[in-house]
Amino acid sequence: MLVFDLDGTMIDTAPDLLQSLNHVIVSDGLAPVDTQKLRKFVGFGGRVMIQNAYDDARQHLEEDKLDYLVEKFIAHYAANMPGASTPYPGLLDALATLRLANCKFAVCTNKTESLSKQLLEALNLSGELEAICGQDTFPVRKPHPGHLVKTIELAGGDPSHAIMIGDTPTDFSTARAASVALVAVDFGYCDEPVSKYQPDSIISHYDELTPELINSLLKQQQYQ
C-alpha cells in the first residue's frame, strides 16, 4: 500500500492556491503577495497562507476575520478547480507501472476530504485510489499517526506493509510516528532540504518510484 500526500506530492496545486490567496487579500485591500515568497507556506493550507500574507504586510488580523477570509478562500479555490493544478511529471506512468506490480494507492492529506475528492476527480485520478482521506475524515489529522494508520486500514492495507510518500515535515513526522516507511519527494513545498529529515528514500522524479524501490523499502521495514 502506497499512501500519498496530495498538495506538493501528487499534485502541484501552488498556482491555484496562491491565486485564491491573492483573490482574498486583494479584495480586502492588501497588495498581491509575492507568490515565490509565500510558496513555502502552500503545504500548510489556506489559513496559514492568509495569516502569513497579513503578517508579511504587517497587518493585524482578528480571528473572526481570519475565519471569514478562510471561507472566502475555500469558496474561490473550489469554484476554480482544477485550474492550473497538474500531477507532477511521471506520476501517472509510475502509478500504471506500480499497479501492474500489484500496488494499491491511497491519499492522506490535510486538505478537506471534499476538496481532495473534487480535485482528484477533476484530474481523473480518483479511480486510482482505494481511499481519499482528508483532515476531516477522522477525529485526528496529520501529524497524528492515526490519520495515516486509519487511511491505510480504510484502503484495505496493513500499516506494517505500507509506505508514505510526502513532501513536508508534517508528512515525515506522521510516517515516523506511525512506524511506516517514508519516501520524501524533493520537488514539493518543503522550504529546506528533505534529506534533513532522514527519510528512507528520496526521489526527485516519479520515474524513480519503481517496484524495485518499493520492494526494497518493504523488506527493510520487515527487519526493523
- Tell me the catalytic residues: 5
Distance separating alpha carbons of residues 69 and 87, to the nearest angstrom? 28
94: cell is: 509510475
129: cell is: 485510489
Question: For the chain, where are the alpha helices, taking DSSP H only?
Answer: 14-27, 35-38, 46-56, 63-79, 91-100, 113-122, 145-154, 169-177, 211-222
Q: Element (H or E) spanning 86, and its range?
A: strand 86-87
